Chain A
Amino acid sequence: MSRLQRSGPLALLLVVLVLVAFPFYWMLLTSVTPREALFKPPYRLFRLDFSLGNYRELLFATEFARYFANSLIAAVGAIVLNVIAATLAGYGLTRFAFPGKKTFAFGTLFSYMFPPMLMAIPLYILFSALQMRNTYTGLILAHMAISLPLNIWLMWQYFQIVPLSLEEAAWTSGASRLAALRQVCLPSARPGILSVAIFSFALSWNDFTFAFILQTDRKMFTLPVGLASFVEQTGVHWGMVMAAAVLVSVPTFLLVFFLQRYLLSGLRTAG
């Protein structure tokens, strides 16, 4: 193999890496650059005037911590409820015959195709009537409305590859249906459950539409809405916005970092 053939893919990889990683690097760099230094030429790729002033200001002078907590509560709530509902629904669709099953399954997928904006207005009216605006429950339910259909579909597919005889072996060993589901089916469907968790998290964590429309009370803002409000103020404090962006990406990063092993093993079994 010639040098060129070997270095060709490597060069391509490098280009892609720069494209993906540079914004991230720029975000980190900006977040630790003091406000005074940010707009002072020359604008260099490498700067050394390191400061945590932006972070200090973000955490103590703004409502960032509250937005962060709100986002976290919504995301965790969405993960837990999505996993429980999608697992049970997926199992039910796989193992039980009931009238209208096909219609239900396709209806589920169909409902996933509505853009969030289309549902946001009806939900605003509905939740106003139910007094569920500006509540965590309301926001979590709204996030579930978007993520649950695909999650059910996903778990349905996952349970279909768990052989029925595994469960039957558990039943004839004396295990109840629920015990068999927990001890035999769930471990086999674990990559699916993790996919559901990550998808639910990502959707809830990144959601702007629902949070913006349903959470009108400043105290109930989530991160995407809160961050946007930083930009709307008279001057854009880029250092602080970037510091916020860094902190927002930390949970996502941690989640994927710790779960990637399971996700990849799921890909391997599915492939």
Chain B
Amino acid sequence: MAFSVRLEGLDKRFGRGAREVHAVRDLSLEIGEREFFTFVGPSGCGKTTTLRMIAGLETPTAGRIWFGDTDVTALPPQQRDIAMVFQDIALFPYMTVRQNIGYPLRIAGLPRVRIDEKVEKVAATLGLSDKLAMKPGQLSGGQQQRVAIGRAIIKEPKVLLMDEPLSALDARLRVEMRTEILRLHREISSTIIYVTHDQVEAMTMSTRVAVMDQGRALQVDPPRVIFRRPADITVATFIGTPAMNIIPAVVVTTPAGLAIELLGRSIPVSARYHAALQGLKRVEVGLRPQAVRLMPPAPDLITGRVFLREPLGLEDEVLVETADGTRVKSVTAAGDEFPEKTVVGLEVSPRDIHLFSSDSRLALCYGIQ
């Protein structure tokens, strides 16, 4: 049986006085049994510190950590029934692959025969059967990471912690290992807590994601919700490639009701969002580049000039500069249409216009239709 993991007002400060770093601020969340839960955020956001506190490698300054019904806050890592995969892989260089994978069982005092049996089984699932006699130094980066994962899963931990396990690998291997880790999650019964700065890893692998910034969890939701309904501007711009356009707009009152004035165009806001915009003069408009379509210029469209066009293969990233100097990014089908310096119209569906508060940066509404 796996554990659920509950963080309660978790707080961590490093250092003292002027050099104090407040790494994690009052973090509370619950991770369900057998969930694949990911902490994602830029470096220094507190995600690794949080993971290390769950592992018992750091002591929280305040707050509690619960595994199921047990308060583990004061327990050392050895007594937590966890396993961890490290960013720098951290294999024991003087041990063979067999000894590395079997190490947790050796510590647990299992007889040699049982250890060998289990090591061979784990090695087979990870495709390492012919590597057991080798030392880590003789393996490729991907194989090393497999060994590290093998060492972590062999004692079937209740909670499996992974700290940026793929960041040391090259791009192709990273994609391969992603599939592998997902397969593992289906096969083993551990709750997996994963830390990454790579939003693609977070979005593709997790059942739920916590987006962190400056020690706080900005949003905790399934990946799809985070993409479609980002809680604030930071989440909105961090998740999704290329980053969401954030453009200032003005709220105006028209005979037909409220509207926003975006880059010289007035776009009506559906009556059901009027309450959210009550009393606001300025808002930030969030627009995914995929939702900005390039058209021939027309009177009812936002107009601009193509500033930069970057081919990405199937699609091109196009940066358009409007009359007031605002730059809007669009992702469009690859082609020769609208080369650099041509004047274009930008078509945007009101469904794709997200509004954020200029002060609190929190989301006001998703789509204004």
Contact = CB atoms under 8 A, between A and B. Distances in A.
8 contacts: A163-B90, A166-B90, A168-B90, A169-B90, A169-B91, A171-B76, A172-B56, A173-B103
A163 B91 CA distance: 10
B346 interface: no
Interface in A57-72: none
A174 interface: yes
Nearest to A173: B104
A172 B84 contact: yes
Interface string A155-196: 000000001011011111111100100011001100000000
Nearest to A190: B94
Contacts of B22: none
B77 interface: yes
Given A168-B55, A172-B56, A173-B83, 11 more contacts: A163-B90, A165-B90, A168-B77, A169-B92, A170-B92, A172-B77, A172-B78, A172-B83, A172-B161, A173-B107, A174-B107
Interface string B94-111: 100000000110011000
**SS class of chain A's interface: helix, strand, loop or mixed?**
helix
Given A163-B90, A184-B92, A169 B78 contact: no
Contacts of B88: 163, 165
Given A174-B78, A175-B78, A187-B94, A169 B107 contact: no
Interface residues of A, number: 17
Contacts of A171: 56-57, 76-78
Given A169-B84, A169-B151, A175 B107 contact: yes
Interface string B73-90: 000111000111011101
B131 interface: no
Contacts of B93: 187-188
A176 B109 CA distance: 13
Contacts of B121: none
Given A165-B88, A174-B155, A179 B107 contact: yes
A172 B103 CA distance: 11
Contacts of B151: 169, 173
Nearest to A184: B92
B104 A174 contact: yes
Contacts of A172: 55-57, 77-78, 82-84, 161
A179 B56 CA distance: 17
Contacts of B108: 174
Interface in A179-229: 179, 183-184, 187-188
A165 B93 CA distance: 12
A168 B84 CA distance: 9
Contacts of A170: 92, 103, 107
Interface string B315-357: 0000000000000000000000000000000000000000000
Contacts of A187: 92-94
Nearest to B99: A183
A184 B99 CA distance: 12
A174 B104 CA distance: 6
Contacts of A174: 78, 104, 107-108, 155
Contacts of A184: 92
Nearest to A174: B107
List 4 A-B pairs, minimum CB-CB distance, nearest first: A187-B94, A173-B104, A165-B90, A172-B84
A172 B87 CA distance: 14
Contacts of A188: 93-94
A169 B86 CA distance: 8
| Of listed A169, A175, A176, A188, residue having the most chain B CB within 10 A | A169
Contacts of B57: 168, 171-172
A175 B103 CA distance: 9
Contacts of A173: 83, 103-104, 107, 151, 155
Nearest to A165: B90
A166 B95 CA distance: 12
A183 B104 CA distance: 12
Contacts of B103: 170, 173, 175
A38 B10 CA distance: 85
A101 B8 CA distance: 35
A163 B87 CA distance: 12
Interface in A124-172: 163, 165-166, 168-172
Nearest to B94: A187
